[in-house]
Amino acid sequence: MENILTIRNLEKTYPNGTRALKGVNIDVKPGEFLVIIGLSGSGKSTLLRCINRLHDPTSGQIIFDGQDISKVQGNEVRGVRSKIAMIFQHFNLIPRHTVLSNVLMGSLASIGSFASIFGFFPKADVDKAMGYLELVGIREKARMRADNLSGGQQQRVAIARALMQNPKLLLADEPVASLDPATCHTVMDYLRKVNRELGITIVANLHFLSLVREYGTRVIALKAGEIVYEGSPSEIDDAWFARIYGEGTREVHIQ
Amino acid sequence: MMQNNFSQNLNLRRSVFDGIMFAYLSCVFLVTVLRPDEEAMLQLGRNASVFGILFLVGGIISHILNGTGRKSLGELIFQPAHKKAEESAPLLKSLWGWQLLIFNIVTLVVALIVTKSSLIELLDIDGFKGAMRLFGGLLSPNFEILPKAVLTMIETIFMAFLATALATPLAFVLCFFCSRNVMTSNSGFVIYSVLRMIFNISRSIEAVIWAIIFSVWVGIGPFAGMLALMIHSIASLAKQYSEAVESVSDGPIEGIEATGATKLQVVWFSIVPQVVLPFISFTIYRWDINIRMATIVGLVGGGGIGTLLMLYSGQAMWPEVGTIILVIAFVVWFMDQASAYVREALK
């Protein structure tokens, strides 16, 4: 099967001289739930932000859906972003807007700038947004202000916003890192549902290995900007754990 | 490479700071020793070049001294963060301590001489009696002119309101063009810098000066005053607004950018919701400030109660002036309270 995403020799050096990514190669097949693990500062977030061009890569290729997107500019960047949705550790919703309005913002790229500013969202989009809120189980909260929701509910709103883009690929940057353990699983279950039922490919950064083993179909470990492990989540044993996270560290289990 | 540039930049700032201080102190010293006459003091070009040369000498001295490990005041202020953590010598055992002490003492003495401060004048009994006569007049206000004062005060309030109302939408649009986090591209930075410069210049020109310019342009009266306040308000509001824009959290911006939204959509949906409340608060406060400034602007022909105040104080009619001051004080107090309550409630 053809890759949905192919990354070749991806390098990212920040203006202050930090080399966040040092020649990363990744192949992602459609329908995968790929998990990226590694210490804070290992380059996980940078990698995701290079894929949807929130950051500009320094060199290398990112081939998404048959097109090299590593150097596109202007309107083309927005086109790429509209096909790749993203959810974030801190949800990044707009606090003073309603849940429904936040979900509708996922369709901004398909609506003219002025129409969206005056609030003219097509009826079809509103119906679609309500449908996705139903999918993530918070349809009844549609008229509430987003900042009145709990963390887990906010992340589900963010998932619904991401789905509004009709994405082929969903990037998740530490989606459960600021949630309590119980809520963690709810959010991860919805991501798996999106992955299995809607067939959307997911690339997620995660911290807890127990979550990786439960949800990931494949795992890649980054250390100081380089890939040190690639394979099945079940094959990460204590020895690998020590190599990825450093000697003397111990795994935290989350139930 | 970047690191290097950064520390060179800091070293340059240090030397400029020390250079200016050295040139200033040397000039004070030269004036004290040489006692030049007024004609010599007025030769601006020559004196400026003396200052310039002393500035260069000071910068070089600062560079050499800091090279040998003696910390100057400029170094203390502009040193990189990692050096700030180090313990520095006590005040009187360090170069920067003496520099600070001498600078403050010299400046205090020079300031006293330049402003012709004199305790004798302040305690002079005739002068004091004159001031008391004036206060007596102010404290027995003539309420016959109260209706007139109230009417012109209303004119002033509307003048301030219109200036604020016209300045707000303009400042709202412009503030995004002078916010660093919105103007991220290279060409954006040029627009950002140019706008910032224009606003800084027009803000540094007092509203009174603008009122004089506009009273020549459109004639003496409230319209000139309103235009003066408006120009000043645009610049001040745009600056305050853009500071609010620059302090928004990046998360929502990233969230909207990731959907493939246009720049306009990113600004409208992720930045505007975060700054609505501070914007309203700044605008109400600006109206409050404009009422106070409208009075001052009226003094130079900007209309309203300020012009009335000018009229009576010019004729030394202190009881009438007293009435006007009472009206102004009441309105300013009321607006101050009201705007504080509204702004508090909005938080």
Please report the domains of chain B, with CATH numbers, ordered by start residue. Answer: 2-119 (no CATH), 140-346 (1.10.3720.10)
Q: Which of A23-27, A155-159, B119-123 has the lowest mean pLDDT?
A: B119-123
At residue A71, the 3 state secondary structure works out as: coil
Could you tell me which chain B residue has the CA closest to the CA of A97? B273
Cβ A153 vs Cβ A102: under 8 Å: no
- The neighbour count for residue B303, using CB atoms within 10 Å, is 23
Question: How far apart (Å, rounded) are the C-alpha atoms in residues B224 and B213?
Answer: 8
Q: What's the pLDDT at A172?
A: 95
Q: Which of B6, B172, B259, B280 to mutate to test the interface with A (most CBs of A within 10 A)?
A: B259
Question: How far apart (Å, rounded) are the C-alpha atoms in residues B336 and B326?
Answer: 15
Q: What's the pLDDT at B256?
A: 94
Contacts (Cβ under 8 Å, ≥6 apart) of A161: A85, A93, A102, A103, A105, A106, B255, B259
Question: How far apart (Å, rounded) are the C-alpha atoms in residues B131 and A116?
Answer: 65
Pairs from B66-73 (Cβ < 8 Å, separation ≥ 24): B66/B11, B66/B14, B70/B94, B70/B95, B71/B95, B71/B96, B72/B14, B72/B18, B72/B96, B72/B99, B73/B17, B73/B18, B73/B21, B73/B99, B73/B100, B73/B103
How is B50-106 classified by DSSP, letter by letter? HHHHHHHHHHHHHHHHHHTTPPPHHHHHHS-HHHHTS----GGGSHHHHHHHHHHHH
pLDDT (average), residues B117-143: 82
The residue ranges of DSSP E strands in chain A, in sequence order, are: 5-13, 19-28, 33-37, 59-64, 67-68, 84-87, 169-173, 201-205, 218-223, 226-231
pLDDT digits (tens, 9 = 90+) for A208-219: 888 888 999 999
Model confidence at A195: pLDDT above 90: yes
Instruction: Give percent of chain B above pLDDT 70.
Output: 96
B window 193-252, beta carbon within 8 A of A: 251-252
Cβ B276 vs Cβ B241: under 8 Å: no
CA B4 to chain A, closest CA, distance in angstroms equals 11
Cβ A172 vs Cβ A20: under 8 Å: no
pLDDT (average), residues B132-147: 85
pLDDT (average), residues B51-73: 88
Question: How far apart (Å, rounded) are the C-alpha atoms in residues B35 and B110?
Answer: 14
Residue B198 pLDDT class (50, 70, 90 cuts): very high
Q: What's the pLDDT at B347?
A: 67
Tell me the pLDDT of chain A averaged across its residues: 90
Model confidence at B41: pLDDT above 70: yes
When CB atoms are compared, the residue of B2, B251, B259 closest to A106 is: B259
| Whether A92 contacts chain B with CB within 8 A | yes
Distances (CA, A) of B139 to A13, A245, B105, B136, B311: 72, 79, 41, 5, 19
Model confidence at B3: pLDDT above 60: no
Whether A85 and B259 lie within 8 Å, measured CB to CB: yes
Q: What's the pLDDT at A117?
A: 86
Taking CB atoms and an 8 Å cutoff, what residues of chain A touch B257? 54, 81
CA B23 to chain A, closest CA, distance in angstroms equals 36
Q: Higher model confidence: residue B342 or residue A190?
A: A190
Model confidence at B4: pLDDT above 60: no
Taking CB atoms and an 8 Å cutoff, what residues of chain B touch A161? 255, 259
Question: How far apart (Å, rounded) are the C-alpha atoms in residues A108 and A117?
Answer: 10
pLDDT digits (tens, 9 = 90+) for A120-145: 889 999 999 999 999 999 999 999 99
CA atoms within 13 A on the CB side of A204: 31
Could you tell me which chain A residue has the CA closest to the CA of B2? A16
Model confidence at B119: pLDDT above 50: yes
Q: What's the pLDDT at B136?
A: 85
Instruction: Give percent of chain B above pLDDT 90.
Output: 38
| Whether B2 contacts chain A with CB within 8 A | yes
Q: What's the pLDDT at B87?
A: 67
| Whether B254 contacts chain A with CB within 8 A | yes
Question: B82-102: string of b/e by CB count within 10 Å (b at 16+)?
Answer: eeeeeeeeeeeebbbbebeee
Q: What's the pLDDT at B88?
A: 67
| Whether B269 contacts chain A with CB within 8 A | yes
**Pair of tokens at residue B219:** 């004639």
